[in-house]
Amino acid sequence: MTAVVTGGASGIGAAVVARLRAAGTDVVVADLHPVAGADPVDVTDAASVRALASRLAGRQVELLVHCAGTVAVGAVDTPSEQADEDWDRAFAVNVKAVWTVSRALLPLMGEGAAIVVVASAAGLRPIAEMAAYVASKSAAVGLARSMALDLAPRGIRVNCVCPGLVDTPMARAAQRGRSPAARDAVAARQGYLVGRDGTADELAEAIVLAGTNGYLTGSTIAVDGGRSLH
Which candidate in 28, 109, 123, 133 is catalytic?
A: 133
CB 114 within 8 A of CB 208: no
- With a CB cutoff of 8 Å and minimum separation 6, the contacts of 72 are 86, 87, 89, 90, 130, 132, 133, 136
Largest CA-CA distance found in the chain, in angstroms, rounded? 52
Q: Which residues, including other chains, have CB under 8 Å from residue 140's CB and lie 6 or more apart?
A: 94, 95, 98, 117, 119, 120, 123, 160
CA–CA distance, 75 with 69 (Å, rounded to integer): 19
Residue 133 is a catalytic residue: yes
What number of other Cβ atoms are within 10 A of residue 211's Cβ? 26
Q: Which residue numbers are catalytic? A: 133
